[in-house]
Structure 1
Amino acid sequence: MAITEAFETGTFVGRVWRPDAAGPALVVLRGGALFDITSREVPTMRDLLELDDPAGFLSGREGERLAPLETVMAGSVEAAGHLSILHLLAPCDLQAVKACGVTFARSMIERVIEEKAAGNPALAEKMRERVTAIIGDSLRDLKAGSPEAARVKAALIEEGVWSQYLEVGIGPDAEVFSKAQVLASVGWGASVGLHPISRWNNPEPEIVLAVDSRGRVKGATLGNDVNLRDVEGRSALLLGKAKDNNASSSIGPFIRLFDDSYSIDDVRNADLSLTISGPEGFVLKGASTMREISRDPLDLVSQTIGRHHQYPDGFMLFMGTLFAPVEDRDAPGQGFTHKIGDVVTISNAELGSLTNTVRLSTECPPWTFGPSALMRNLAARGLI
C-alpha cells in the first residue's frame, strides 16, 4: 500500500490493534504516520462518525504518534492473529455491516447464470450464451424500478428466464443483506476466508459507505465481499452461508471522510481495479466502475435505513460490484475460482488499496474480540 497523493490530501481514519492497551485504537493518517486520536469524546469509530463534522473535529487533534504506516503494514502481514503486534484492523467497529447485491447489469447477468447453472461451473458457459442472447447489454442503462424496467421484466418472463436476481436488479426494491457481525470484519493484510464447502468462489471488489445513525454518509472505504458462487447458486436461501463466514468480510485500509477534497460525487465516479496473484503464478486483473451502477448510492442508503429500519450505531454498506470473473483458470469452461494462497488487491486512486490473502475460514484466526470485549477494554482504559 503506497503512500499515495490521496493520503496526503484527504482525511483518512482507521483502527489499529495496540498491544500495550490490549485493544483497538482510533487513528488518523498524517504525513505517512498513524496517530492515535482515541479519547473519551471519540472512544470508537462509531462515536467519531456520529459527529456532524468528523473531519473538522480531527483538524484540531494532534494525537499520539504511533508509527510510520509502513511499519504498521509490515506488522499487519506478520500479525496473523497475534495480539502482541501493532497492526491494522477494519476501520469500522460498532457499525452493522450490510451489503447490497445485484446492483450492476453485468454482474446481474452473472448471477442469473449462477442460478440457472445451479452452482455448477460446467454448465455456466452454455447458460451464459443463452441468457446473454436474450438479455444482451440492454440492461446496462436501465433504471431500476422504472416503467422501462417493468417492460423488460415482462419480456423476460415470456422467455422463461426470469430470475430472483433480475427482480432485485431492475425491480423497485434493492437487495440489502447482513454481510458480517459487528466487529467481525478483517482489515488490510489479514487473511480472508472461504468456507471449506465451496469449490467455486471469487472476490468482490466494492466501495463501502460509512453511514451514521441518521443515515448521513460520512465517508467511504474499500471492501472485499467474498463470494461463494456455488453455494449461493444452489439456492438464494443459502445467502447467509455464502456470505457470512469467519474472515469473509474485509474492509479498509481506512475510511476517507467527506470533506472539501472528497464527496459522494467522487464515490459515484470511482473506478476500482483488482489484481489476483495466485501461488502458481496465475494473475488475473479486473476493473469495476461505479459509473455503471444501476442504483444511486444514496438510494441504496435510503433503502437500508429509515422509518422501516434503524441503526443506532450506524452501518457500513457494501454497494455491489461490476466484477464477475469468467476467465478459465484451470480446465476450459470452468471459469475462475480461488486457490488457497491467492493475494487479492483492490485499489482506488482516492481510497488507497486493500490487500488480503485467501485462506479457508477454518484456517483463519478465529474471531474472539466482540462488542462485549470492546466495552470491557474501553472501560478498563477509562474511555467510557
Structure 2
Amino acid sequence: MKASPAEVLPVDHAKAILVGRILTEAGPSPVILRGGRILDVSASAATISDLLDHADPAAVAGVDIGAVSDIGSDDGPVLLAPIDLQCVKACGVTFALSAIERVIEERARGDADKAVAIRDDLEARIGSGIRAVAPGTPEAASLKAALIEAGMWSQYLEVAIGPDAEVFTKAPVLSAVGWGADIGVRSDSDWNNPEPEVVLIVDRHGTPRGATLGNDVNLRDFEGRSALLLGKAKDNNASTALGPFIRLFDDGFTMDDVRAAEIDLVIDGPEGYRLEGTNKMSQISRDPTELVRQALSEHQYPDGFALFLGTLFAPIQDRDHPGRGFTHKDGDLVRIASPKLGTLANRVTTSKAAPPWTFGIRELMRNLAGRGLL
C-alpha cells in the first residue's frame, strides 16, 4: 500500500506531537516525528508504555532513522500499531440516540409517520426530548420504563442509557495491526463491517495521554445471534487496527478535539463499489473521560491501555442485493480519517488468510533484551 505523508498524517502534523512504532532491522521501535525526521527513541524508552510514562515524551532523545517524507512510500518504514504493552479495551453502544432510533425504526418497519408517533409517545411519557436524555440519569430511567412498557427494551439499550457503559477487552496485547496491514474478518462471517473510531491512549496512572484512530471490526451476524458471542465476534486474528500514530495531547490538541472529532470512512471495493460514512463524536452519549473512568473503576493497567470510544456509523447501503445491506468483500480498502489524527488504511482479508500473529510478549522481551534495552 502506497500513500504520501499528506495522505497518512494529520493536516497539521508539523505542529503535532506524534509517536508510534516502526519495524526496524533490530526489531519494533518506538519513534517520535520531529522536525520532519523520524527519531528512534528505543534507547531512551524501549516501549510505547515506557515513553508515555515520561512527563514530556516529546523531549525524549532519539536517533534519526529517516525522513517523515518517506512514510507511505515503497521503501518507507513499516508502520506497526502505535501501542505495544497496553491492553486493548473497547466501549460499545456509546451513541445512545442512534441505538434508540434504530429500535424505533425497527418497530415502525420503515413507516416514517409511525416512527414519529412512537417517538412522540415516548417523549410524552418521559417528559423531555429523547435527545436530552443522558445515560444513568432519572430521565434515562423513565425512558427505560417507557421502552419496557412498549415492549421495545433490549440489552443494548441497557448499556446505551443505563448507568453502566459496555467496556470489554477487544484484543490481546501486541495483536493489533497498523497502517497498511491486512485487517481480518472471520472466514465464517457473511455480515460484517468496519467501525471507525477514536481510540484514547491512557498511561499507567489512568491519565489519557493522546489519541489515535481505530477500526473495531464488527461481525454483525455473530453478535446479532447472541450477545454472548461478542468475544468471538470481536477478537480474531488481525481484527484490530490502530494508527497511523498516537497524537499526544498538548496546547494544539486536547480532549475537546476528541469530543468534536469527525471521523470519515471510505470503503473502496475491488468491484468498484464505494461506501462513505461519518462518525461524529459530538453525538456521543457519555463523555470520553467518563468511559475512561468506568474502564478504571475496579481495574488497574500498569502498562496503560487503549480505549476504543465507539461509533455512530452503521452501514445500511446495499452492496450486492436490495435489502441485504453492506458486508465486506476480500480486497476492500478501508480508509478511516480525521484531520487532526491522520488516516488509517487497511485492506480486508479473512482472519485465516491474514499473516498469523506470532510476535508476542515473550518475543518482544527477548528482542529488547538482545538489543540491550532492558
- Name the residue aligned to 1:104: 95
User: Which AA in structure 2 matches 1:10?
Assistant: A
> Which whole-Å CA distance do the structure 2 matches of 1:249 and 1:49 have between them?
21
After superposition, the C-alpha distances for 1:324-356 in whole angstroms (9 at most, x for unaligned) are: 111111111111111111111011111111000
- Name the residue aligned to 1:246: 237
Q: Does 1:316 align with 2:319?
A: no
- Name the residue aligned to 1:54: 57
4+ residue runs over 6 A deviation: 127-133
User: Which AA in structure 2 matches 1:163?
Assistant: S
Aligned residue among 178, 187, 209 for 1:196: 187
- The alignment yields a C-alpha RMSD, in angstroms, of 2.4
Change (3 A) 1:250 1:337: same
Q: Does 1:328 align with 2:318?
A: yes
After superposition, the C-alpha distances for 1:24-62 in whole angstroms (9 at most, x for unaligned) are: 0011113443221111x411000111223323x33xx2x
**Aligned-pair CA distance for 1:197:** 1.4
- Name the residue aligned to 1:25: 29
Q: Does 1:342 align with 2:342?
A: no
**Percent identity for Structure 1 against Structure 2:** 57
Q: Do 1:107 and 1:321's aligned partners in 2 also have CA atoms closer than 8 Å?
A: no
After superposition, the C-alpha distances for 1:81-108 in whole angstroms (9 at most, x for unaligned) are: xxxx940000000000000000013542
> Which whole-Å CA distance do the structure 1 matches of 2:116 and 2:66 have between them?
51
Secondary structure at 2:265's aligned position in 1?
strand
> Which whole-Å CA distance do the structure 2 matches of 1:46 and 1:24 have between them?
13
After superposition, the C-alpha distances for 1:167-204 in whole angstroms (9 at most, x for unaligned) are: 00000000000000000000000011000111111110
**Aligned-pair CA distance for 1:374:** 0.4
Q: Do 1:344 and 1:357's aligned partners in 2 also have CA atoms closer than 8 Å?
A: yes
Q: Do 2:104 and 2:119's aligned partners in 1 also have CA atoms closer than 8 Å?
A: no
After superposition, the C-alpha distances for 1:293-328 in whole angstroms (9 at most, x for unaligned) are: 00000000000013x111111100000001011111
Which residues of structure 1 form unaligned runs of 5+? 79-84, 117-123
> Which whole-Å CA distance do the structure 2 matches of 1:206 and 1:132 have between them?
30
Q: Do 1:253 and 1:352's aligned partners in 2 also have CA atoms closer than 8 Å?
A: yes
- Name the residue aligned to 1:119: none
- Name the residue aligned to 1:43: 46
> Which whole-Å CA distance do the structure 2 matches of 1:267 and 1:36 have between them?
27
1:293-304 aligned at under 5 Å gives the runs 293-304=284-295
Secondary structure at 2:148's aligned position in 1?
helix
> Which whole-Å CA distance do the structure 2 matches of 1:355 and 1:142 have between them?
35
- Name the residue aligned to 2:72: 73
**Aligned-pair CA distance for 1:127:** 7.9
User: Please, what TM-score do these two structures have when normalized by structure 1?
Assistant: 0.88
After superposition, the C-alpha distances for 1:214-259 in whole angstroms (9 at most, x for unaligned) are: 1100000000000001100000000000000000000000000111
> Which whole-Å CA distance do the structure 2 matches of 1:149 and 1:379 have between them?
53
Change (3 A) 1:125 1:165: same
- Name the residue aligned to 1:178: 169
Q: Do 1:89 and 1:188's aligned partners in 2 also have CA atoms closer than 8 Å?
A: yes
> Which whole-Å CA distance do the structure 1 matches of 2:329 and 2:116 have between them?
28
Q: Do 1:131 and 1:161's aligned partners in 2 also have CA atoms closer than 8 Å?
A: no
Secondary structure at 1:285's aligned position in 2?
strand
- Name the residue aligned to 2:16: 10
Secondary structure at 2:327's aligned position in 1?
coil
Aligned residue among 363, 366, 374 for 1:376: 366
Q: Do 1:109 and 1:132's aligned partners in 2 also have CA atoms closer than 8 Å?
A: no
- Name the residue aligned to 2:220: 229
Secondary structure at 2:72's aligned position in 1?
helix
Q: Do 2:39 and 2:65's aligned partners in 1 also have CA atoms closer than 8 Å?
A: yes
Which residues of structure 2 form unaligned runs of 5+? 124-128
**Aligned-pair CA distance for 1:126:** 4.0
Q: Do 1:102 and 1:111's aligned partners in 2 also have CA atoms closer than 8 Å?
A: no
Q: Do 2:89 and 2:307's aligned partners in 1 also have CA atoms closer than 8 Å?
A: yes
Q: Do 2:90 and 2:169's aligned partners in 1 also have CA atoms closer than 8 Å?
A: yes
> Which whole-Å CA distance do the structure 2 matches of 1:325 and 1:102 have between them?
15
Aligned length: 360
Q: Do 2:262 and 2:279's aligned partners in 1 also have CA atoms closer than 8 Å?
A: yes
User: Please, what TM-score do these two structures have when normalized by structure 2?
Assistant: 0.90
Change (3 A) 1:29 1:195: same
User: Which AA in structure 2 matches 1:71?
Assistant: D
Change (3 A) 1:33 1:113: farther
**Aligned-pair CA distance for 1:155:** 0.6
> Which whole-Å CA distance do the structure 1 matches of 2:138 and 2:362 have between them?
48
> Which whole-Å CA distance do the structure 2 matches of 1:279 and 1:53 have between them?
44
Q: Does 1:165 align with 2:156?
A: yes
Change (3 A) 1:65 1:133: farther
> Which whole-Å CA distance do the structure 2 matches of 1:111 and 1:25 have between them?
44
1:282-297 aligned at under 5 Å gives the runs 282-297=273-288
Secondary structure at 1:365's aligned position in 2?
coil
